[in-house]
Amino acid sequence: MFTGLVTDVGRVTAVDGGERLRRITIASAYDPASIALGASIACGGPCLTAVAVEPHGSGCRFTVDAAAETLARTSVGTWVPGTRVNLERSLRLGDELGGHLVTGHVDGLAEIVAREAVTGQEGDQWAPSDRFVLRAPAALSRFIAEKGSVCLDGTSLTVNGVEGDTFTVLLIPHTLAVTTWGERRVGDRINLEVDLIARYAARLTEAHAALTAR
């Protein structure tokens, strides 16, 4: 389980394998002693398992395996050496839950259809933020609600508005600076995980409707 609060931006250093299984090595500032073999790490959204870890510079390099389902459903299959990836280690009991409950199970890919600068106040100064408009897959759009939460590329964000299958999120300067969002452009496809509560609420509603229809 994760919170969607990015704690490092890693860089892919090696990719091996094919369409059924790919082994990916990521360089990170994490202390290698803090990553146990088998640990879960959210890498750009998907929860992946560390199968190897070694010291590298002032941080580490860790390796994860991505199976066919992950490669088909997420952007992991497009990663190449040099790709930058938002990272978050799994939540521990007692940690602050600053974002929202995120499983690391990506539902599909959303596409950025617009990006526009918005001027907002940061402390005593006015600083530029960016508003992103994204299109969700039709099957997932019903789980996205205004003022609700979504996880996009491993980042917990609040939905500002919804219109049909498109929705908007606002990225403040801090988020743009400490995640990969600063380099995102129109046409990019983003890993989308809908809110866990919204998913189960919809499922319960469907089950109730089916029972009452009998």
CA-CA distance, 47 to 64, in Å (whole number)?
A: 10
Is 212 among the catalytic positions?
A: no
Catalytic entry in 2, 62, 132, 167: 2
Catalytic entry in 49, 141, 166, 168: 49
Q: Going by C-beta distance under 8 Å and a sequence separation of 6 or more, which residues neighbour residue 179?
A: 6, 9, 86, 153, 155
Catalytic entry in 34, 72, 114, 158: 158
Catalytic entry in 67, 72, 177, 202: 67
Catalytic entry in 27, 105, 145, 168: 105
Is 117 among the catalytic positions?
A: no
Is 175 among the catalytic positions?
A: no
Catalytic entry in 7, 13, 40, 90: 40
Is 60 among the catalytic positions?
A: no
Is 103 among the catalytic positions?
A: no
Is 105 among the catalytic positions?
A: yes
Is 49 among the catalytic positions?
A: yes
Catalytic entry in 47, 60, 66, 110: 47
* List of long-range contacts for 173-182, beta carbons under 8 Å, 24+ apart: 173/122, 173/127, 173/128, 173/129, 176/129, 176/130, 178/6, 178/9, 179/6, 179/9, 179/86, 179/153, 179/155, 180/9, 180/44, 180/84, 180/85, 180/86, 180/153, 181/130, 181/132, 181/153, 181/155
Instruction: Catalogue the active-site residues.
Output: 2, 40, 47, 49, 67, 105, 158
